Structure 1
Amino acid sequence: MDITLATPLLAGLSPQTFMRRHWQKKPLLIRQALPGVVAPLTRAQLFALAAQDGVESRLIEHHAKGWTLRHGPFSRRQLPPLGQPAWTLLVQGVDLHVDAAHELLSRFRFAPDARLDDLMISYASDGGGVGPHFDSYDVFLLQIHGRRRWRIGRMADATLQADVPLKILAHFESEMDWLLEPGDMLYLPPRWAHDGVAVGECMSCSIGFRSAARAEVGREVLQRVIDAQDAPAADPLYRDPAQPATDEAGRIPAALQAFAGAAISRLVQDPRAVARSLGEWLSEPKPQVWFDGGASVPAQSGVRLDRRTRMLYDDHHVFINGESYRAAGRDATLMRRLADRRCLSADDVRRLGDGALHLLDDWAQTGWLHANA
């Protein structure tokens, strides 16, 4: 992807310019971002996907008595009739199950893969929606079938409606109002309030991005640093030869507090250990993802990553599906190319060293990558 080239996907902006002007700053309405867009799957296929175990789906209905929310899987009989208004089926992570959805998600790789999350598809009957709400992450809302009216506004009040199974804003004020046709798209930064309502039957794609809170990042990374630690044979014990007698037996000694602080500081004093743990966490597949066993890579064959595989890298490591590997030299260059392009040509594979080739073969047998057709 040439990030300097203007593209209809971003309203004639280059990815470079879009990220500078709009990313996490201000919304952007994009008419005909994808002219002639074709839905990654049909309505019937989406309903069939929502019926599968291991696929995250939700059914939201809005009626005179209020809102209802149910979690899948759903058989077709559990879904409302098509002619019933004001219901919405949300199917998460469609890119994990459908190649066309994965290819659509890949168009947004001008943002780092470490931030790119998944592609959700929303099917709605006339009047369907999920109410005015906000997201804590960036999102692209792409219309792929029918029409949807979007109202958006800055969020002045994050108070939510009480006794509602959804996170619906109690006070929503619209500043802009647009009707999106197939191929139109709307970009929203985090915490912009929005309300989308189907005008007739419609399908929309939501391209979302990961946005973990600082506490979550710290917890996940620190736990992996701890798990990777090998306690030295002579790991010092806490000692307090200067501890005086006390008449405050319940008070924790300041020296013990300092010892604990030093122990934690020692865990994170190695930047590479922290970076390794971060990469392992960021490349971890989602809980519902599993891989079928594959076959070895034939000689003279290129390879491509499975659509469910997450592969990242930093200056010293390559990460794939929660595992980390030290990488340097030509092998590192080619492994980074695999992460960036999600494929390697046969010529690239032939240039890999024996150790890297062995890894590719292991990954292929695990189903993480496949030989090019």
Structure 2
Amino acid sequence: MKNISTLLGGLSIDEFLRDYWQKKPLLIRGAIPEFTGLLSPKQAIKLACTEEAQARLITQYNGEFELAQSPFTAKDFKDFGKAHWTVLLQGLNHHLPEAAELLKRFDFIPHARLDDLMVSYAPKGGGVGPHFDPYDVFLLQGLGHRRWQISTQADRTLIEGAPLRILQDFKVEQEWVLGPGDMLYLPPQCAHNGVAEDDCMTYSIGFRTPAYQELAEQFLVYLQDRIVVEGNYADPDLKTQAHPSEISSAMLTQVEQAIKQVRWDKGDIANFLGCYLSEPKPHIYFDTPETELSLKKFAKALSSNGIALNLKSQMLCRTDTVFMNGESTQVEAADYALLRELADNRSLPAQPECPEHVIETLYEWYLDGYLAPL
């Protein structure tokens, strides 16, 4: 792993996962020594004003916070007066190849856990207030300096009526000023507050931790299109009831037996997870190729140059199935390793001997805009 010795402050991956991951914070000076950022403040604001961007603008004046959601125009970033402000831009890895490359440094965490790369820009004094997140995050400093304060406090009381989940009583336990290339890892529920010391850009590598309630609800949605319960309710031996408004034990038992026919196993759960975790967020869409290659020309390009996933594509694997942007494809054992390589590295080098049926699968994904020849 490139620069892993500095990325984790001299810790091995196993040491980091054992001692820090989901357990306690870790400050890493010079995690990526050469890192100064991926884009300028002007470029970040320009990107936040595009239709594809998912961005938030947070202003703070006299302790009061206001939140605005994209889309924005350039006028939204003028005349702030004495207010402090911050712009947050989600999914930077969907827009910049350099952002996708940065995420590869964190491949020691499974792709199924990765959310996205967010960048925040704030002039001096900007921030989003003390808060806590239910997920793991690496906070990598680019341009400028940010003062981070953290707390492991149990008090989660929020300011009532605030547009953000801001802690009412934040008690600082530790604080540091991070400069370019420095990084802070925070486990879930670790309260933190970041304030820009100067023109400041911070890159947040976030990892999703879906709630079990959310997973259960979505699994039931997944099942509803896959279950078959035969028959209809029937009561040829119906008896009179003293109270016609009561649901009888006989009806309850019959319906209970019907519902018990609903079954699932580990394979169903694996297929659900692959589809659910690779499903693009609602605002993401894919463009089909402007000049569509024929299957023959696509195969030639694959043979000569290889392919790469679209920056917005999510690809996961499990046993004999690959999941591409919420869709599952079962593959032969001999082909699984090749497609897993594509998922692992988000690209494939030239494939002069790629099986024809694999080429056809890749070509379908190409037509959908999920990948393209290099």
For 1:158, give the aligned amino acid.
Answer: R
Distance 1:180 1:83, change over 3 A: farther
Query: Does residue 125 of the first structure (1) align with residue 123 of the second (2)?
Result: yes
Counterparts of 1:250-329 in structure 2 under 5 Å?
250-294=245-289, 295-296=292-293, 297-299=298-300, 300-301=303-304, 302-329=306-333
Distance 1:257 1:20, change over 3 A: farther
* Contact 1:160–1:170 (8 Å) recurs in 2: yes
* Contact 2:65–2:162 (8 Å) recurs in 1: yes
- Residue 341 of structure 1 deviates from its aligned partner by 1.7
Alpha-carbon distance in 1 for matches of 2:73, 2:24: 40
Distance 1:261 1:16, change over 3 A: farther
Query: Does residue 238 of the first structure (1) align with residue 241 of the second (2)?
Result: no
1:341 to 341, 345, 363: 345
Alpha-carbon distance in 1 for matches of 2:125, 2:76: 19
Unaligned runs of at least 5 residues, structure 1? none
Residue number in structure 2 paired with 1:354: 356
Alpha-carbon distance in 1 for matches of 2:258, 2:108: 40
User: In the TM superposition, what whole-angstrom CA distance separates every residue of 1:25-71 from its partner, at most 9, and x where no partner exists?
Assistant: 11100101111213111111111111012311111111126111111
Alpha-carbon distance in 2 for matches of 1:291, 1:196: 35
How does the TM-score come out when normalised to structure 1?
0.91
2:336 to 332, 335, 339: 332
In terms of mean alpha carbon deviation, does 238-247 or 117-126 score higher? 238-247
How does the TM-score come out when normalised to structure 2?
0.91
* Contact 2:32–2:182 (8 Å) recurs in 1: yes
For 2:178, give the aligned amino acid.
Answer: L
User: In the TM superposition, what whole-angstrom CA distance separates every residue of 1:263-300 from its partner, at most 9, and x where no partner exists?
Assistant: 55543423322321221111111111111212442412
Residue number in structure 2 paired with 1:10: 8
CA RMSD in angstroms, aligned pairs only: 2.1
Counterparts of 1:1-80 in structure 2 under 5 Å?
1=1, 6-64=4-62, 66-80=64-78
- SS of 2:185's partner is strand
For 1:274, give the aligned amino acid.
Answer: I
User: In the TM superposition, what whole-angstrom CA distance separates every residue of 1:285-338 from its partner, at most 9, and x where no partner exists?
Assistant: 111111121244241231111111100011131100111011232111211121
Number of matched pairs: 365
Alpha-carbon distance in 1 for matches of 2:86, 2:117: 16
Distance 1:252 1:355, change over 3 A: farther
Counterparts of 1:51-200 in structure 2 under 5 Å?
51-64=49-62, 66-81=64-79, 86-200=84-198
For 1:45, give the aligned amino acid.
Answer: Q
Distance 1:216 1:94, change over 3 A: same
Alpha-carbon distance in 1 for matches of 2:120, 2:25: 21
Distance 1:358 1:178, change over 3 A: same
- Residue 350 of structure 1 deviates from its aligned partner by 2.0
- Residue 6 of structure 1 deviates from its aligned partner by 4.9
For 1:368, give the aligned amino acid.
Answer: Y
Alpha-carbon distance in 2 for matches of 1:23, 1:74: 36
Distance 1:212 1:256, change over 3 A: farther
User: In the TM superposition, what whole-angstrom CA distance separates every residue of 1:146-204 from its partner, at most 9, and x where no partner exists?
Assistant: 00000101131111011211110011111111111111110000000001111011010
Distance 1:258 1:132, change over 3 A: farther
Distance 1:211 1:256, change over 3 A: farther
* Contact 1:83–1:125 (8 Å) recurs in 2: no
Alpha-carbon distance in 2 for matches of 1:262, 1:13: 55
Distance 1:148 1:168, change over 3 A: same
